[in-house]
């Protein structure tokens, strides 16, 4: 069949590119259409640089041409991203920390959704991939990293670096850990309020001997309170990952979490959403998936907010057991979590690289390639 350009343009007038109100032809997003027999090449330019936006544009064009013009048309879509001009001043806030390349905040709107479990598993997976990783547990309401890394009875030692006394993070499974939990008794209610907690956190960052780190994961307290603001003002946060479970109530809070980071005055890029406890898989029936808390809620939320869905973590008994005994489940030799965590971690690295390409380089945003990360190359 010989396709004609006019029919293609008419069909493309029925769809938009992400973020645009007008259809993709009238908005000027479609910059060229070429037809040869049953082949079509569509050049389209979009403003949104995310992988989802590019994929969605491509799929929408493909589907529309197949549905409205010719179902066997061979369609090639060239998506160009009209990258926003690099901001004049670096958007990263706070002082850059020498040696720390990326600070990734792990947040959740609601408590108990598994934010700390995800942080611990992300950390050990990044370390397995060859990255230098630190975890800073800033969850003043329930610091859980000392237990999750089996270092609850340890305390950071003091070391002298360049004549200054510094706090040496405790090391476990190749990950350097500092936690507000090291400075409180386990049974003591933590009633620190924002400024005090922020001061303690500042010390754990600026007065700590982290050494060289590719990633410092920051386990934030749940919610969107004052303490978050203090932390984000004090620290050069590269990007944030938001953890949610599939229930509507958790998703509503996750949405607030994403909105907090995206607020103009904060403007911390959201790397994506991770859905935890996405489905239940019993150990004896590893192929079965039971969506007990609802299905694809986080995926829909990610699409809605136009942020990346980084992956789904199942509800598995061994994840809870591993957390309780202080050996993150991602360290197991195999099991249902390994592939899932590898994929999510790769996605986090990918999004960090993408985000760093869009901003001018600073001390805080140095990872610009994924070279050296064997697992990422797979
Ligand atoms: N995917 C999972 N499968 C099984 N258990 C899980 C999973 N994720 C988290 N858990 C368990 O749920 C409990 C809460 O998890 P976690 O402490 O990580 O939540 P949190 O969001 O960090 O909580 P907080 O509100 O204290 O910050 C823990 O006992 C943990 O082991």
- Pick the residue with more confidence: 1 or 14? 14
The ranges of the chain annotated as CATH 3.40.50.300 are: 100-377
Collapsed DSSP state (helix, strand, coil) of residue 40? strand
Return the pLDDT at 94. 61
pLDDT-derived band of residue 375, with 50, 70 and 90 as boundaries? very low
pTM score, whole prediction = 0.73
Which residues neighbour 187 within 8 Å (Cβ) at sequence distance 6 or greater? none
pLDDT-derived band of residue 182, with 50, 70 and 90 as boundaries? confident
The ranges of the chain annotated as CATH 3.30.300.130 are: 5-81
- For 5-81, the fitting CATH number among 3.30.930.10, 3.40.50.720, 3.40.1190.20, 3.30.300.130 is 3.30.300.130
- Rounded to whole angstroms, the Cα distance separating 259 from 305 reads 9
Is 366 annotated to bind a ligand? Reply is no
List the single range of 43-57, 86-100, 143-157, 306-320 with lowest mean pLDDT: 86-100
pLDDT at 250 over 60: yes
List the single range of 178-182, 244-248, 359-363 with lowest mean pLDDT: 359-363
Q: What is the DSSP letter of 84?
A: P
- Mind listing the pLDDT tens digit for each residue in 61-74? 999 999 999 999 99
In 3D, which of 89, 117, 338 has the Cα closest to residue 236?
Answer: 89
Q: What is the DSSP letter of 182?
A: G
- Pick the residue with more confidence: 16 or 266? 16
pLDDT at 86 over 80: no
In 3D, which of 264, 217, 260 has the Cα closest to residue 237?
Answer: 217
pLDDT at 199 over 90: no
CB of 42 within 6 A of ligand 1: the answer is: no
Which CA distances in Å does 272 have to 53, 206, 216?
A: 13, 27, 17
| Other beta carbons within 10 Å of 170 | 20
Atom of ligand 1 nearest to the CA of 108: 21
| Other beta carbons within 10 Å of 239 | 22
Pairing relationship of beta strands 157-161 and 164-168 according to DSSP bridges: antiparallel
Atom of ligand 1 nearest to the CA of 320: 31
Q: In angstroms, how far is the first alpha carbon of the chain from the final one?
A: 40
Average pLDDT over residues 246-252: 88
- Mind listing the pLDDT tens digit for each residue in 290-337? 999 989 889 888 988 889 999 999 999 889 999 999 999 999 877 778
Q: Please give the angle made by the CA atoms of 320, 326 and 327, to the nearest 5 degrees.
A: 85
In 3D, which of 361, 354, 359, 353 has the Cα closest to residue 131?
Answer: 353
CB of 114 within 6 A of ligand 1: the answer is: yes
Output the CA 165–ligand 1 centroid distance in Å: 35
- Pick the residue with more confidence: 281 or 246? 246
Atom of ligand 1 nearest to the CA of 321: 31
Is 223 annotated to bind a ligand? Reply is no
Contact indicator for 312, 198 with CB cutoff of 8 Å: no
- Pick the residue with more confidence: 226 or 186? 226
Return the pLDDT at 188. 60
Return the pLDDT at 232. 80
pLDDT at 25 over 60: yes
Return the pLDDT at 272. 95
Across all residues in the chain, what is the average pLDDT? 85
- For 100-377, the fitting CATH number among 3.90.1150.10, 3.30.1280.10, 3.40.50.300, 3.90.226.10 is 3.40.50.300
In 3D, which of 211, 254, 204 has the Cα closest to residue 231?
Answer: 204
Contact indicator for 365, 188 with CB cutoff of 8 Å: no
Enter the ipTM. Answer: 0.97
């Amino acid at each position: 069949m010989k396709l004609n350009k006019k029919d293609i343009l008419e069909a493309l007038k029925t769809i938009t590119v992400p973020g645009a109100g007008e259809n993709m032809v009238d908005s000027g997003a479609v910059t060229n259409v070429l037809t040869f027999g049953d082949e079509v090449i569509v050049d389209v330019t979009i403003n949104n640089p995310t992988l989802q936006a590019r994929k969605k544009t491509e799929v929408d064009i493909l589907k529309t041409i197949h549905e409205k013009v010719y179902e066997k048309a061979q369609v090639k879509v060239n998506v160009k991203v009209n990258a926003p001009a690099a901001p004049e001043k670096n958007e990263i806030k706070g002082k850059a920390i020498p040696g720390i390349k990326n600070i990734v905040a792990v947040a959740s709107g609601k408590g108990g959704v598994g934010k700390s479990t995800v942080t611990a598993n992300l950390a050990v997976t990044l370390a397995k991939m060859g990255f230098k990783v630190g975890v800073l547990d800033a969850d003043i309401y329930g610091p859980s990293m000392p237990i999750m890394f089996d270092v609850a009875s340890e305390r950071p030692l003091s070391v002298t670096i360049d004549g200054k006394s510094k706090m040496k993070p405790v090391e476990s499974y190749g990950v350097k850990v500092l936690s507000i939990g090291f400075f409180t008794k386990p049974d003591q209610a933590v009633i620190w309020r924002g400024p005090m907690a922020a001061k303690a956190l500042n010390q754990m960052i600026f007065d700590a001997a982290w050494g060289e780190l590719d990633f410092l994961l920051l386990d934030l307290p749940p919610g969107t309170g004052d303490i978050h603001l203090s932390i984000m003002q004090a620290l050069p946060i590269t990007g944030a990952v938001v953890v949610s479970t599939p229930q509507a109530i958790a998703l509503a809070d996750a949405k607030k979490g994403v909105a907090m980071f995206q607020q103009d005055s904060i403007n911390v890029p959201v790397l994506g959403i991770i859905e935890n406890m996405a489905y239940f898989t019993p150990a004896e029936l590893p192929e079965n998936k039971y969506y007990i808390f609802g299905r694809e809620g986080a995926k829909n939320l990610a699409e809605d907010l136009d942020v990346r869905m980084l992956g789904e973590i199942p509800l598995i008994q061994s994840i809870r057991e591993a957390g309780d005994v202080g050996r993150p489940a991602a360290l197991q030799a195999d099991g249902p979590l390994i592939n899932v965590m590898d994929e999510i971690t790769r996605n986090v690295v990918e999004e960090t690289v993408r985000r760093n390409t869009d901003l001018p380089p600073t001390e805080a945003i140095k990872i610009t390639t994924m070279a050296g990360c064997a697992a990422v190359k797979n």
